[in-house]
Amino acid sequence: MQKLRTAVIGYGFMGKTHAANIFNGSCMELSAIVDKNLNTKVEGNFDTSAIDEASLSKIKIYTSFDDCLAQESLDAVIVCVHTAAHFELVHKAIEHKLHVFVEKPFVLNPSEGATLIAEAERAGLTLAVGHVVRFMPAYRELKRIFDSEIYGELKFISLSRFTGVPDWGDWKIRRKEFGSSGGALFDLVIHDIDYLNYLLGLPDQIECTYFGGELSRHDYICSFWKYNHRQMRVKVEGGDIFHAKFPFEAGFKASFERASVSWSSSSGRELIVADEEKIEIINLDEAGIAYRAEIEYFAQCAANRLYPSECSAASALETVKLCARLVGE
């Protein structure tokens, strides 16, 4: 497969992560980075791989997407900017016949998402959204257990995701734009909401409690989902209501007919399976490989003009609508 000539737009935490995986991968060629104020020391809520300074100095840097488009011959772009800028940049990329991978949340306005999907389909382009949890080893293993019914039917599942209020990059500035990022619901807990929709489909009923924080009126979420034709209980909880240096933690607990399964980011590469008599440890790959897996999956879909079923924009739009449904928007 010929490498896709790719530009990363936005060199924050996720931009750095994707740029490094493109640079060190086999499916894409990092042609350029677009960022108004490039900062090579960006941080996030956990460590990711990075491009060393010497290698980064060889990559062309642009301060505007227009300049990049004028001077580069590209096949694809990776959009990693503030949510409010997603529509404009993705729309422009599609106009220039480029495949697009955009970080979650896809959009906050569903009509904008529908427009972008229709435009990409008319142009025959791949449009994918970065819901990386679908590619993480622990969650892939949980899906394998669920699909195979190796422990019987699922009876209960709880997913959680917590962190301190983000203070890296320009997040402190963004606090002044209250609600513009979508807050913890659309920027953090959306990971688990998307995964549950991926695993179980849309719920028939939702009960939800939420309250605001530094970024939005729904920076804490606790919801229970019900499915009319399934005898199971579903809970999703999370938020960024803690102080900035509060450690990130995500995980799940699931009870099947014959065993219970749990995983936490604090235990990393160990998934626990417990029944009435024993505890089994399933060793997992490092979670960070998911970022390379999703970006290479996107590249393969783009190169072969395939529909990206694992990270489609249509599925991401459904998740955005589900997030809004939780808080009655």
pLDDT score of 58: 87
**CB-based contact 121:305 (threshold 8 Å):** no
pLDDT score of 44: 52
Within 10 Å of residue 154's Cβ, how many Cβ atoms?
Answer: 22
Distance CA 79, CA 87 (A): 10
- The confidence band for 41, taking pLDDT boundaries of 50, 70 and 90, is low
- The confidence band for 181, taking pLDDT boundaries of 50, 70 and 90, is confident
Distance CA 121, CA 119 (A): 5
pLDDT score of 46: 52
Nearest partner of 3 among 40, 31, 44, judged by Cα? 31
Mean pLDDT on 305-309? 91
Mean pLDDT on 44-73? 83
pLDDT score of 40: 63
**CB-based contact 84:53 (threshold 8 Å):** no
Mean pLDDT on 15-35? 92
pLDDT at 45 over 60: no
pLDDT tens digits, one per residue of 104-150: 999 999 999 999 999 999 999 999 999 999 999 999 999 999 999 99
- The confidence band for 268, taking pLDDT boundaries of 50, 70 and 90, is confident
Helix axes 86-95, 110-123, angle to 10 degrees: 10
DSSP code for 186: I
Mean pLDDT on 18-28? 89
Give the 3-state secondary structure percentages of the chain, helix then strand then coil, rounded to 5.
Answer: 35, 25, 40
Cα angle, residue 292 at apex, residues 60 and 282 outer, rounded to 5°: 160
Mean pLDDT on 296-307? 94
pLDDT tens digits, one per residue of 100-117: 999 999 999 999 999 999
Encoding tokens for residue 293? Answer: 């897996």
pLDDT score of 324: 96
pLDDT score of 49: 61
Q: Where are the alpha helices (DSSP H) in the chain?
A: 13-24, 53-56, 65-71, 86-95, 110-123, 137-148, 171-174, 183-184, 190-200, 289-303, 313-326
Q: How many residues does the chain have?
A: 329
pLDDT at 50 over 80: no
pLDDT score of 308: 93
pLDDT score of 23: 87
Strands 233-242 vs 249-256: parallel, antiparallel or unpaired: unpaired
- The confidence band for 176, taking pLDDT boundaries of 50, 70 and 90, is confident
* Domain edges within the chain: 4-130, 137-287
SS (H, E, C) 90-141: HHHHHHCCCEEEEECCCCCCHHHHHHHHHHHHHHCCCEEEECHHHHCHHHHH
**CB-based contact 255:221 (threshold 8 Å):** no
Cβ neighbourhood burial of 5 (10 Å; 0-12, 13-18, 19+): middle
pLDDT score of 210: 98
pLDDT at 167 over 70: yes
pLDDT score of 47: 54
- The confidence band for 227, taking pLDDT boundaries of 50, 70 and 90, is very high
For the 4-130 domain, the top CATH level (class) is: alpha beta
pLDDT tens digits, one per residue of 56-69: 888 999 999 999 99
**Least confident window among 80-84, 87-91, 180-184, 225-229:** 180-184
Percentage of the chain lying above the pLDDT 70 cut: 96
Instruction: Return the SS3 of 194.
Output: helix
Whole-prediction pTM value? 0.94
Encoding tokens for residue 76? Answer: 């694809």
pLDDT score of 48: 56
Cβ neighbourhood burial of 140 (10 Å; 0-12, 13-18, 19+): middle
**Least confident window among 34-38, 61-65, 158-162:** 34-38
Mean pLDDT on 291-310? 94
Query: Which CATH architecture describes the domain 137-287?
Result: 2-Layer Sandwich (3.30)
**CB-based contact 108:182 (threshold 8 Å):** yes
Please state, rounded to an integer, the average pLDDT across all residues of the chain: 93
